[in-house]
Each structure stands twice: as C-alpha cells, then as structure tokens.
Structure 1
Amino acid sequence: MIKKWFLGLSLGTSLLVLSACGGADESAENENAQPETQEQAPSGEENAAQPEMPEPDLEDIPEVVAQVNGEEVSKEEFETAYTGQFQQAAMQAQMSGQEIDQTLLKNQLAESMVGQKLLIQEAENQKLTASDEEVDQTLEQLAQQNGLETTDEFLKALDEQGMKEEQVRSQVATQVKVDQLIAESAGDTTPSNEEVEAAYEQIKEQQEQMGSEEELPAFEELKPELEEQVKTQKENEATQTLVAELREKADVTINL
C-alpha cells in the first residue's frame, strides 16, 4: 500500500486530483447509462438538494507555517496540501451532513506535515537509497491505484498538471526511502492467524451492531484482505511510534 500522506505534497495533491477526475468520469458514465424514461427533477429542486461546496479558509496562514529542525514548511506548501485535504473533507461532509472544523483540519495537517518532514529527514540521516527499479515499481503501483494502465499514462497525467517526470521520480524516490525507514522500524509485520481471526470477528460484530442483514463472506474468502489490513495497521502504528520518537528529539515550531 502506498501511503499517499507521505508523498511529496505536490504529488500527493495531484493524486487527489487524478482520483477526483476518475470519479467524475464515472459519475458521468452512470448518468448517461440511466434509462431515458426516468423522471428528471426540476433544476430548482436539484439545486436545493445539493448544498454549495464550502471554500477552504486560507486567510491568516503565516508565511512559515512550521519549522522542523531548521527546515521550513512554507505557506505555499501548506495551502497546496490544505486545498487537497479540504476537498476530500468537503465531499465527506456533504455525504454525512456534518460541518467541517477548518481549525482542527489545519492543525491536523500541520502535524502531519511536521511528521512527514521528520521521516524524510531521518531517511536522509540514515543515508537510505532508492534504486531506479524500486522507483519504477512504485510508479507502476501508483498508476494502477489511479486507474491508469501504464506508468507512461500516469506520468503524462501528472505532466498535464504541471509536474515534470524528474520531479515525480524525485518525490517517489523519497517515498521509497521513507517506506524503507518505516519497514525497518516496524520489523516483521506478518499477521498471525489469531490477529487475522480477531479482525474478522471485529467486522462481524460491527455488522451486527449496525443491524446489517447482508451475509458476511466466509473467513477463508476474506482472509487475504484481512491479512493486508492487519499488516497495514501494524505499519501505521509503527509509523506513529517512530514519528513520536523523532518529535521528542526534534526542534519543532508550529505557527498556526
């Protein structure tokens, strides 16, 4: 699993845009596939049912959002990342009917960006390297995750958004190094049978609590997905622990 949170901010935002474009295309196809006999609601009713998308609040963002061991998180970096995060949060808020707490969202993003800087700095301190083969493999995975068949298509899509191949490869190389750092910190994340079974039981309990009548697939059928889920959870926990350890020793200032 590629942790998009750790990808360079420009690339991370571009990936969000690619995903959004894919979703929009899918919606358009679904609309075109609707039967012609279906009654169309008047435009006024449609507008009433669809609340306006809120706008990200970018006022009062300082020129230097944070400093991490002397390295700055600039206003431009933060605003680019926040706009992408806000778009995701706004779509979720529309579906749930909840309002977005932009102050909380900004603080969470600032903390995430500090963690990102700390991990990248540590990977550099340990002189970790990323081979061309590892970068190519990661690019291929990213292309598939964004619904594209080849790396060339993926690079072309990012180029159209203003990201040159050299810049993309540089950020992906950084990602590979951070993944190495996390893997070393996490150690063996292979889930035991007991952990996978516990994950299955948790899903079963959640389904019962929700009153779902849908039959849960058999354990053996879900086992590969559950193994990946438990493995990812272990990696995420190791990442949080590592960031906390690095943060304790770091010189960090957040100016929000």
Structure 2
Amino acid sequence: MATQKKLATSVAAAALLFGLAACGEGDAEGAEGEAATGQAAEEQSQGGGSSDAPSQQQMPEPDLGDVPDVVAEVNDADISGEEYSSAYETQFSQMAMQSQMSGEEVDEEALQEQTLNNLIGYELLTQEAEANGYEASEEDVDAELESVAESNGMESVDEFLSMAEEQDVSEDELRADVKQQVLINQVVDSLDVEEPSEEEIKQTYEDFADQQSSQGQGQDGEETETPDLEELRPQIEEQLTTQKENEAVQAHIEQLREDAEVEVHV
C-alpha cells in the first residue's frame, strides 16, 4: 500500500536527532576539539578574544529563498519544502558556529545538496523498513530516547524532551521521529558491516600518536603523553566501527536510490 508518511509531522525533530548523533559519534580527539572551540567562543564573548569578536557574535542567516512546496518525490512519498527548510536551518546553524571559529564561510550550495540527499536517504531507508515489515514498540521508542539522551550527556529523557520543545517539536512529534529511527536502525543492523581489522586499529592509533607528537607541549609546558594502544583500543574500535557502518549505510542508500523513482525539484 502506498505511503504518504514523511519524516513524521516535523523534520525539525529528525534534524534534531541528526545533530545529536553528530555530537555523539565523535572520538575522544573530536570531543577535545569541540571543548576547545567552546572555550574559545566563551572567552571571546567575555571580551578576552580578538578585536573582531563582535562580528563573530553576529550569526549569518541561511538562504532559503525560492524553496518549492515539494523539494523531492521519493517513489510515492513527497519531501516538502517545509521539511527541507527545517532540516537545513538546523544543519546551517551548526555549520555557522563552526565557521565562526575557522573563519571560513559556509558553503551553502554544498550544504543544501547534502541536506536534501540526507532527507532522501532517510525516506528510502524508512520505506525499506516498512516494506520489510519492521516494527517499533513503545518500549523500543522509550529505549531509544533513553539511549540518545544518555549518549549526549543528558540526565534524563525529560531533559531531551524539554530541548525538543524549545525547538518547537512536541513530544508526539519527537516520539514519531524516534520510532522512525528505530525502524531505520533495524535496516542498518541488517547490513553486512566488517569489523575493524587489527591493522586498521594500529594504523589509526599511530596516526593519532603522530598528531599528538606534532602538537608538542601542552598548555602547562609539559610534553603531551599519548596513552598506549590498549587504553585507547575501545574508542578506536568504536570510531572505526561507526565509520564502516556509515560507509555501508551510504552504499546501501545509493543502491536503493538507483532502484527508486526519485525526482528532485530544487
């Protein structure tokens, strides 16, 4: 039976999940970088940064002119302009904050294409989950909510729901999107993903150690000491597993798209 189901009633919720996932999938090195970026931003907001701090406080606005009512058709389902705009605004805000620190402007054309492709891929995975008869119980949704909240340092699901409400996403909308995510997770779990090899683990560790060595002394003037491989092994394995899973998902989406009827209107 044809489905008109979109990314729930508000893609803001899905975009919120995308943003949370991006925060939770980084390795220890990425987390340290984000912390340093946040600290630098705080120092500038307090007047301790460079003389151009006031200009950095003014966030750029996304260009969402001429967005059609329907940005893409995926088989028998539409992706609306409203859904696309909500997702794009969330992604743009994240990129704009990063660009303030790097000094590089946001490549809006590339970001718009990436956002649209993400939504098309999300819809294709959802359609496959429904075609395969996957189901998501309320218990599954509760567990996923708890997992997302915990992985992003939140003390409770209520805190996650409060953050969603601040972005004008109701609990019902969020639960609908999380249910959709649970279904997609089942598709992802069905994919054949290779485990990281010992060679890949060692190479990743060596690259990290080389980077640490090139950074030289820490803020206290002492040489930075790189933890040994066995201490970092769990993080490295998780990082590589996530990378391989993402590659498998992307390849699967590309295959689904080849077999699907996809018409883009932007």
Query: 1-side partners of 2:244 and 2:52: how far apart?
Result: 47
* Matching residue's letter, 2:127: Q
Matched, 1:195 2:205: no
Match of 1:239 among 242, 249, 253: 249
How far 1:139 sits from its partner (Å)?
0.5
8 Å Cα contact 1:183-1:235 kept in structure 2: no
- Mean Cα displacement is larger for which, 63-72 or 161-170? 161-170
Which residue in the other structure is 1:223 paired with? 233
TM-score under structure 1 length normalisation: 0.79
8 Å Cα contact 1:186-1:239 kept in structure 2: no
Correspondence list, 1:52-131, <5 A: 52-131=58-137
Which residue in the other structure is 2:27 paired with? none
> For the aligned residues, what is the CA RMSD?
2.9
8 Å Cα contact 2:12-2:90 kept in structure 1: no
Matched, 1:172 2:178: yes
Query: 2-side partners of 1:98 and 1:45: how far apart?
Result: 14
How far 1:201 sits from its partner (Å)?
2.2
Query: 2-side partners of 1:249 and 1:172: how far apart?
Result: 26
* Matching residue's letter, 2:121: G
Matched, 1:47 2:84: no
Which residue in the other structure is 1:212 paired with? 215
TM-score under structure 2 length normalisation: 0.76
Structure 1: stretches of 5+ with no match in the other structure: 1-5, 35-39
8 Å Cα contact 2:201-2:236 kept in structure 1: yes
How far 1:46 sits from its partner (Å)?
4.3
Which residue in the other structure is 1:253 paired with? 263
- SS where residue 186 of structure 1 aligns? coil
Query: 2-side partners of 1:219 and 1:173: how far apart?
Result: 38
Structure 1 residues 115 and 45: alpha-carbon distance in aligned structure 2, compared to 1, 3 A threshold? closer
Matched, 1:154 2:156: no
Which residue in the other structure is 1:37 paired with? none
Query: 1-side partners of 2:173 and 2:53: how far apart?
Result: 42
Structure 1 residues 41 and 62: alpha-carbon distance in aligned structure 2, compared to 1, 3 A threshold? same
Query: 2-side partners of 1:77 and 1:242: how far apart?
Result: 23
Query: 2-side partners of 1:74 and 1:207: how far apart?
Result: 46
Identity between Structure 1 and Structure 2 (%): 42
Aligned length: 232
Which residue in the other structure is 1:133 paired with? 139
Structure 1 residues 71 and 223: alpha-carbon distance in aligned structure 2, compared to 1, 3 A threshold? same
Query: 2-side partners of 1:198 and 1:142: how far apart?
Result: 30
8 Å Cα contact 2:70-2:80 kept in structure 1: yes
